[in-house]
Amino acid sequence: MTTGFGTGLWIRRFHPSPGAAGRLVCFPHAGGSAGFWFALSALLHPRVEVLAVQYPGRQERRAEPPAEDLGDLADALARVLEPWWDAPPAFLGHSMGAVVAYETARRLSTATGRGPAALFVSGRRAPSTHREEKLHLADDRELLAEIVRQGGTPAALLEEPELVEMILPALRGDYRAIERYRYHPGPLLEAPVTVLTGSEDPKVTPEEARAWEDHTTGATEVLTFTGGHFFPLQHQDRIKALIEERLLPGAAPPRPRP
């Protein structure tokens, strides 16, 4: 596998693993950063190398405007990842990141004729299922209250005015991009898709999760974990084991669709 991955602005390589048997590119949620995947990267090291995507508009990329269009974001990421498509990695995306991962995979499949080794989508309904959402139009208080309700951000952190000032532009920009996103039918992926959902997640119904099977010719499996929208934070060990089962030599593929 390629070992000289150029990280640049877009990729954080927290635990370089030149001899890893697998590689996983991770895409964060709306308002999130590459650091969301640090703990999983540490767990998977050194058998699977994690490359965490850093979107513009946050942390060391604060001076850049956040992406206004999810398609443009996927275009940019496809260009970043294409030089390393000699051995396609697997993709993992949470919430908005699941759609970014999917759209990036579509572009790379079209450009190279090969999709990712596998696609893991977490906490997000299938792209073809639409809900009318306009949180990006809410005032700051309502927007921040919603992310606290989802469980991914401790309320105490949002009592720091300087921190709120730093995170709000990226948070609102990401919500604008994902809430304006509309799925456009096209060629199906060929990668196996593993859908991870939370038992108490109001963002994804069982039907919306199963609809991911309409986006690939590969096997699709839906797995439910206890918890709400940010259930992955409670199940790092189980998710680590699942990824290793799917990606490492002798991996068990998702169960084929009936």
Tell me the residue ranges of DSSP E strands in 29-109.
48-53, 90-94
Q: Which amino acid is at 255?
A: R
Q: For the stretch 136-147, what's the b/e string if a residue is b when 16 or more beta carbons lie within 10 angstroms of its beta carbon?
A: beeeeeebbeeb
**What is the residue range of 224's domain?**
11-247
Side chain identity at residue 17, one-letter code: S
In this structure, how many other beta carbons lie within 10 angstroms of the beta carbon of residue 107? 18
Q: Kindly state whether residue 252 falls inside one of the protein's structural domains.
A: no
128 domain-assigned: yes
Contact 223, 212 (CB under 8 A): no
> What confidence tens digit (pLDDT) does each residue in 229-252 have?
999 999 999 999 999 999 997 756
77-126: per-residue pLDDT in tens? 999 999 879 889 999 999 999 999 999 999 999 999 999 999 999 999 99
The Cα angle at residue 255 between residues 251 and 258, in degrees rounded to 5: 160
CATH of the domain at 87: 3.40.50.1820
**Residues marked as catalytic:** 95
Neighbours of 134 (CB within 10 A): 10
Q: Model-level pTM?
A: 0.92
**Three-state secondary structure call for residue 198:** strand
CA distance 180 to 39: 31
Number of folded domains that form the chain: 1
- Cα dihedral angle (27, 29, 30, 33), rounded to 10 degrees? -70
Q: Name the pLDDT band for 5 (thresholds 50, 70, 90).
A: very low
Q: Residue 24: enclosing H or E segment and its boundaries?
A: strand 22-27
